[in-house]
Structure 1
Amino acid sequence: YYLANRDRFVEPDRVRIEEIQIDATGDAADAQARAEKARARLQAGEDLESVAPAVGGWAFPGDGFVARGSRGPAFDANVLSLSEGGLSPVFREGNSAVVVRLLERRRERRKALEEVEGEIRSILRGERERRRYAENKTRTLVVVNG
């Protein structure tokens, strides 16, 4: 099963980031200017947690990984080409002006069989149950109050 379905067990490129988002629903130019200030302060070495509130934004520390394609084309274009430690230019994502620092990169990789054995067992068990159900549904007769 693993060899026949190897593409199911590929982890895409992913990055761990920290970011500041500034609401741009009202004055987009002001949000852009505040995000540019935030970027300059981050570039100068200031801490994300202190910069975000100072520019009226929200800080999102690097708690998890973001996969290629999961945040949209603007994110991918501005973030995935960065080197570790690099800062993105300010870009729009939804209703926010965003600046991102790339903390760590993990390249696409195929998971080893040992990593996915449990998942494969679960998939095969489900397929076996569906097959049994399909085979038995035409043979089963239920009589109620007969």
Structure 2
Amino acid sequence: MNLVPACADCNHAKGDALPTSLETTPLHPYLDRIDDDHWLDARIVGDSPLWLDFFVSPSPSWDQVLTDRVQCHFGLFGLSSLFAIQANRTLSGILSLLTALRHIGGAQEVRNYLADEAATRLADRPNGWEGVTYRTLASSDNFCNGDVTP
């Protein structure tokens, strides 16, 4: 019941705990097929420093058990925090580019770049933290205008 393929960090987080119900059973990366559904979202919280809050946005096609399992899995493995750390590292790496784009073409140039990056990444991984990061930033007027600082 506890045997699920996982990276070392996730395996450590899971430990030897057993699910207590169907709703608390972790997702199996090969058997549970949820990647075709849009379910990962993020929002900007705070504006100095900027921080992204990742969360599960269940697909309308899911039943309550699957919704509960995905949310439990997300919490068990600390994915919100993990994704936020990775997103902020990525953001730190592109800050100078975004500043240059803002000087060249304003907020719309920044938004176009972020939207293109989001589309590229989401095409391959519809629920990947990178694509969701770019999509979230592109949808923020304050971020694209430079009113929010990482």
For normalisation by structure 1, the TM-score amounts to 0.25
For normalisation by structure 2, the TM-score amounts to 0.24
Q: Comparing both structures, which one devotes a greater share of its residues to strand?
A: 1
Larger RCO: Structure 1 or Structure 2 (Cα < 8 Å, ≥ 6 residues apart)? 1
